[in-house]
Structure 1
């Protein structure tokens, strides 16, 4: 799947949005990729997950025991990645602000996990989720995401495989350009802004 093929999937789902968006990190952006919309169609979610799984180097794929994703954004793509890789898929939640396993999910000591996210911007959520897997006794061998919007700057401490890299400017709330500031800001994600 080429970058244009991936963007076509987002466009077909009306998931490539333009406006003034407040990201989970608190940063502001003129574009937003609404992964929940692109993943709401099961066939499309499966296509994207299979394309992403195919990008993971074989030596990493062979190590994976379990797929782990952070709720909310990573749950659907994490499930689909588990299916594409033939591995169990579990997710982390933040009931009290820190990622943890719930719902009876466990990670066997020494299990090797693939962390799966929908979008990586700063990498903070990913690093927090990776730390939660370590606390639970597992080891994250790599991370995969549908979208890397970090401009290649996110340092996750593990190999990182995105399906597509999109360079979209982000701004601190007090440094938004005038043209963007003139548009009402909305928070389309699943978490309150930082």
Structure 2
């Protein structure tokens, strides 16, 4: 049986309804928690294989994902492409390569994320790769919820595009309605700033 991303997302309960502070700092009535999909090794493998298939022509030499959401899917994509996997993580609020990771001059790097909303974390990773001399050949994600306008200057491809509304904190109708918000993301510092 062929693997289908929409069925897998439904099967693993990735989409939640409520009031959420997104890691981008925006608010939404829906939240994509791809960790629920990626907790299953077989699903993660299939998603990585599907993403790798979108970038086979780019001659990728390394895959990188932002910690935390991009780590597992970047690894599975790299495994399917037969290349190494790195991850970028924040130190003092800045994306960095740590743990002995490095990028060679001119190395062809694919950036992979689980969900893209504004593309902020991915752009930080792109800037990091380029500052180290790497060449970003594309961006991929499991879910694109950016509204259909690529936030990147390189090719961007996703397994699924969803039109999920999000709001600046001051414009959020859920806040105005007094509905308590949850903070499901991994970037607490942005969530705290959005209250301000």
Structure 1 residue 180 displacement after superposition: 7.6
TM-score, with structure 2 as normaliser: 0.91
5 Å-filtered alignment, 1:1-194, equals 5-56=4-55, 58-60=56-58, 63-178=59-174, 181-192=177-188, 193=191, 194=193
1:116-161 Cα shifts (integer Å, max 9, x gaps): 0111101111111100001122110101111110011232111001
CA distance in 1, matches of 2:70, 2:116: 10
- Please, which runs of 5 or more residues in structure 1 have no aligned partner? none
CA distance in 2, matches of 1:180, 1:162: 33
- Please, which runs of 5 or more residues in structure 2 have no aligned partner? none
Question: 2:52 touches 2:78 (CA, 8 Å); kept in 1?
Answer: no
CA distance in 2, matches of 1:93, 1:179: 31
CA distance in 2, matches of 1:78, 1:190: 17
CA distance in 1, matches of 2:124, 2:50: 26
1:142-186 Cα shifts (integer Å, max 9, x gaps): 011111100112321110011110000111111122588342101
TM-score, with structure 1 as normaliser: 0.91
Over the aligned positions, Cα root-mean-square deviation in angstroms equals 1.9
Question: 1:143 touches 1:158 (CA, 8 Å); kept in 2?
Answer: yes
**Stretch of structure 1 that moved more, 179-188 or 46-55:** 179-188
